[in-house]
């Protein structure tokens, strides 16, 4: 897969970490803002501008740092999403949370493109693979952690943008994947347990390995 790859991050510090692993300009890196709405809107705009300029992208990767479910994705580790799920998009009910799918209003799951995911797995054999949850509110309690794992037993990590990026990529007919490095364990909020510097370093290392193959 040669050139024309768009890597979308939430914030500039994540974009800088990705760029630090690149050696040429075949990969475009852009921060688009925090949360699924900003991610979808920003990604769609970048895709449209590239198409209008006659240099369309060939694939889109949502990248950045995120939280890892304890025992599944360690702090400082790398995660590849087999799918990105809008985990809090739905409705509450007396019987529990109902997803958008269950309500009949649409889909909350965006699978990673198989070929792109296989390429990333080959480049990063040490990466944990599984579902990455997209949430508008970062998890900060044991109760929410348990509830999310009950609904999504294959979840390995959470972030705030993947599903939004996936929606924009899907609307444009572009392959999509999500790559996260883990800055903190998911659960009761404990800033002392965060290792943001380690997550940024892992992000740089991942793209130094992946970028030449994209």
What residues does each domain of the chain span?
5-213
The fold of 5-213 is Rossmann fold (3.40.50)
**Average pLDDT of 35-59?**
95
Of 157, 211, 155, 144, nearest in space to 184 by CA:
157
Answer yes or no: are the C-beta atoms of 6 and 63 closer than 8 Å. no
**Average pLDDT of 5-15?**
97
pLDDT at 97 (0 to 100): 85
| pTM score, whole prediction | 0.93
pLDDT digits (tens, 9 = 90+) for 64-121: 999 999 999 999 999 999 999 999 888 888 888 888 787 878 889 999 999 999 999 9
Q: Report how far apart, in Å, the C-alpha atoms of 186 and of each of 20, 36, 76, 102, 119 are.
A: 27, 19, 13, 26, 28
Percentage of the chain surpassing pLDDT 70? 99
- Positive or negative, the Cα torsion across 64, 162, 167, 61? positive
pLDDT digits (tens, 9 = 90+) for 127-153: 999 999 999 999 999 999 999 999 999
Of 75, 66, 105, nearest in space to 89 by CA:
105
pLDDT at 135 (0 to 100): 96
Non-local CB neighbours of 201 within 8 Å, separated by 6+ positions: 17, 76
């Amino acid at each position: 897969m040669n050139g024309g790859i768009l890597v979308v991050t939430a914030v500039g510090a994540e974009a800088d970490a990705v760029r630090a692993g690149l050696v040429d300009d075949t990969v475009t890196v852009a921060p688009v803002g925090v949360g699924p709405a900003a991610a979808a809107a920003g990604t769609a705009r970048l895709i449209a501008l590239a198409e209008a300029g006659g240099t369309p992208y060939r694939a889109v990767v949502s990248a950045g740092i995120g939280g890892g479910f304890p025992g599944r994705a360690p702090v400082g580790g790398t995660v590849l999403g087999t799918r990105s799920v809008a985990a809090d998009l739905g409705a509450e009910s007396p019987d529990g949370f109902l997803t958008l799918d269950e309500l009949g209003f649409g889909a909350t799951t965006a699978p990673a493109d198989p070929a792109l995911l296989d390429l990333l797995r080959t480049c990063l054999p040490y990466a944990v693979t599984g579902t990455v949850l997209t949430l508008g509110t970062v998890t900060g309690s044991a109760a929410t952690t348990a509830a999310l794992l009950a609904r999504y037993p294959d979840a390995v990590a959470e972030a705030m943008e993947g599903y939004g990026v996936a929606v924009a990529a899907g609307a444009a007919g572009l392959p999509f994947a999500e790559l996260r490095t883990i800055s903190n364990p998911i659960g009761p909020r404990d800033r002392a347990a965060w290792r943001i510097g380690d997550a940024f370093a892992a992000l740089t290392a991942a793209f130094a390995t992946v970028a030449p193959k994209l």
